[in-house]
């Protein structure tokens, strides 16, 4: 009987711990990006070391190279350096840069296989921080052009 009670207590404890974490990444609070968290959440999208994931504004569905959703980050550093990090790092992970614009609100667009990624970045103005939104979604295939229609 004692073994059953012990097993029940351990199972409950594991279940409670499982509700509060996603692998090694807390899901209830913002978390600083480490190699483990970056691989788990962003898969094939490189994230800068030390970036803070804003959990409340983040929604990731799927894992690895098939995830879609939005990552909200706070990234320290000069806006030009953060922009250059994403511009230079994503092609190394197999993404193709299709457009970029650097300004107060910067935007980078990438494609990879059947997905599109946008990196939107805005300097916060306080302490050199940057708000970064990374959105990854399936690419929309253009509709095939309709052939000539005949009218009766």
Kindly report, residue by residue over 31-40, the tens digit of the pLDDT. Answer: 666 556 666 6
CB atoms under 10 Å from CB of 86, counted, come to: 25
User: What pLDDT score was predicted for residue 30?
Assistant: 60
- Whether the Cβ atoms of residue 97 and residue 84 lie closer than 8 Å to each other: no
Specify which residues 68 forms β-bridges with.
61
Domains of the chain as residue ranges with CATH: 29-138 (3.30.310)
Beta strands 31-32; 25-26: pairing state: unpaired
Beta strands 115-123; 105-112: pairing state: antiparallel
Going from the C-alpha of 105 to that of each of 26, 53, 65, the distances in angstroms are 29, 19, 27
User: What pLDDT score was predicted for residue 42?
Assistant: 76
User: What pLDDT score was predicted for residue 66?
Assistant: 87
User: What pLDDT score was predicted for residue 124?
Assistant: 77
Running along the chain, 152 residues long, what does each successive block of 10 average in pLDDT?
46 39 44 62 85 89 89 92 96 96 96 95 80 95 70 59
């Amino acid at each position: 009987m004692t073994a059953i009670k012990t097993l029940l207590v351990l199972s409950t404890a594991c279940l409670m711990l499982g509700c509060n974490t996603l692998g090694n990444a807390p899901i209830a609070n913002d978390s600083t990006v480490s190699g483990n968290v970056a691989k788990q959440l962003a898969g094939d999208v490189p994230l800068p070391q030390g970036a803070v994931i804003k959990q409340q504004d983040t929604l990731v569905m799927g894992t690895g190279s098939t995830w879609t959703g939005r990552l909200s980050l706070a990234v320290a550093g000069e806006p030009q350096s953060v922009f250059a990090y994403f511009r230079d790092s994503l092609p190394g992970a197999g993404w193709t840069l299709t457009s970029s614009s650097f300004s107060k609100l910067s935007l980078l667009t990438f494609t990879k296989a059947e997905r599109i990624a946008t990196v939107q970045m805005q300097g916060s103005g306080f302490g050199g921080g940057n708000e970064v939104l990374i959105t990854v979604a399936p690419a929309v295939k253009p509709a095939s052009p309709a052939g000539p229609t005949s009218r009766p």
